[in-house]
Structure 1
Amino acid sequence: MPFKSVPVRFSLLFFLLLFWGGVVSRSAVASVPVPDTAAVAPLQLRYPDPQKLQELRESKDFQYGQDIRPDMSFWERFWRKIGDYLSQMLSGTSYDGFWKYVLYAIAIGTTVFVILKLLQVDFVGLFSRKSAAAAITYETYRENIHEIDFDALLAEAEAQGDYRRAIRLQYLRTLKLLTDQGLIDWKPGKTNRSYVSELKSSPLLRPFERVTQLFEYVWYGGSSLDEQTFETVRQSFREFHQSFAKTA
C-alpha cells in the first residue's frame, strides 16, 4: 500500500505543475498589449534626388570599369613576333651552338660600327685603296665661298688635270648661288645633308641632291677621275645651274 501511493502522489504533483503553468502562460499572453493598427502610420517610399543620383553616376570615384587596351598597331605586332622568335631561339638547345656566336658577332659588329660613326671615320677610305693622284694638295678648311674666284681656280684645276678639285669648286660655286638667293644658310663646317634638308620645299631639291651625291662620290670616294668622267659630272652641274636660272 505505501509503495502504490508514491506514483499517485507524483502524478498529482505533475498535474498541478501543468495546470499552474497553463494559467501563468495565459495571464502573460493576456497582459501583452495588442497594437492598434489604426494608430500606426502607413509606410512611405523615399526616392533619391535625381540630380544627386546623376552626380554619383558621373563621379570617377564610382567608376569601376576596366579600360580596354586598343588593338596593337602593325609595328607593335611585328616587334612582338620578333621578340617571341628571339625568345624561342635563345631558349632552344641550338642557342648554345651556332646562334650564340652569330649574336655575339652581330653585337660586336654593331658596337664597332657605332664607334666608327661617332668618330666620323670615312668607311669608303677605310676599306678602299686610294690612288696617288687622289691626294689633296691644298687646304680646304680655309675655303670661303664668298672670297673664291671660281672662274680662275676652275681654269687652273682643269689645266692641271686636277679634276677632283674642279668638281669641288663646282659644288662650292653651287652652294654660293643658293646662298646668294637665300635658299640655304652656308656656314663653314656645315654638312652637305644639312643643305639638302634646307631645300626640302624647293623644286631644286632633287637636282641639288643629285649633284651633292656626285660630289661626295668624287671627293670622298678616294679615286682619281679621268677626263671623260669629269665631263659627265660637269655636265650634271651645268644642268643644275640651268634649272637654277629658270627658278631664280
Structure 2
Amino acid sequence: MTKIFYILLFLFCTEFYGQDSLAKADKKGVVYTEKDLKIDSSKIEQLQFEPSFKEKYDSDDFIYEEKSKEQNIWDRFKEWLAEIFSKLFGFTNNQAAMGAVVIFLRILAVLLILFVVYLIVKSILNKEGRWIFGKNSDRRLINYDEIEKNLHLVDFEKLIKQSIQSGEKRLTIRYYYLWLLKKMSEKQIIEWDAEKTNSDYLYEIKSENFKNDFAYLSYLYNYIWYGEFELDEATFEKSRKAFEKSIQSIY
C-alpha cells in the first residue's frame, strides 16, 4: 500500500513540473537549437612587448627591495677608523663617528696636497727656478746655456761681480767652479767636456796636491750648488776664498 502511494506521488509531481516548464516555454515563445549558436571567427591580434621593455623598468625607481651595499677595502678602512674614533672621543653612535672620519680624511687630503705642492716649489727654486718667475727669465736661461757651451769665451770675473751684487751666493759658487775648470783646461791640466763629471776631471789631474785641492773644491761645489739649504755668509766666504786661491795658483 505504501509503495503504491509513493508511485502515485511521483507521477503527480512529474506531470505538474512538466506542465509548468512547458507553460514557461510557451510564454516566451522561444526554443533554442544548436543552429542558433554563433562562433566568433575574427582574427585575434597577438600583443608583443617592445625589446626595450625591461630597460624602461630597470631603474632604481622600480627596485622595491633594498640590497645591502657590498663593502670594499676603503669602506672597511673607514669603519675601522670610526671604531677608533668612537673609543677615543666617545661617540654615542656610529653615524657621528663616521662623520668625524670623513672630516678627518678630507683635512688629511688637503694637507697632503699642500705638502706635495711645497716639495714641487722647493725643488724648482733649488734648481734656480726663481729665474723662471723673473722678468728676464728667457734671457738668463739662454745665457746660462751659452756659458756651458762657450766656457773659454766667458768673463767669469764680471759674472761673479754681478751675482754677488744681486745676492745670488749659490750661483756665485757655480761661476767659481766653472772658472776653475776653464783655467785648468787652458793650462792643459784637464780636457774640458760638458759631459764629464768631477770624477773624470779628478782622474786626469797629475799633481797630487792639486788633485786634493780639486777634490775639496768639488765637494764644496756639490754641497752648495745641489744642497737644499740656505747658504750662510760664513760658508760662502770660506768657499769663495778656497776657489780664488786655487784659481790664482794656476796662473
Q: Give TM-score scaled by structure 2 length.
A: 0.42
Question: What TM-score does the superposition give when structure 1 sets the normalisation length?
Answer: 0.43
Per chain length, whose mean CA-contact separation is higher, i.e. which structure has more relative contact order (CA < 8 Å, sep 6+)?
1
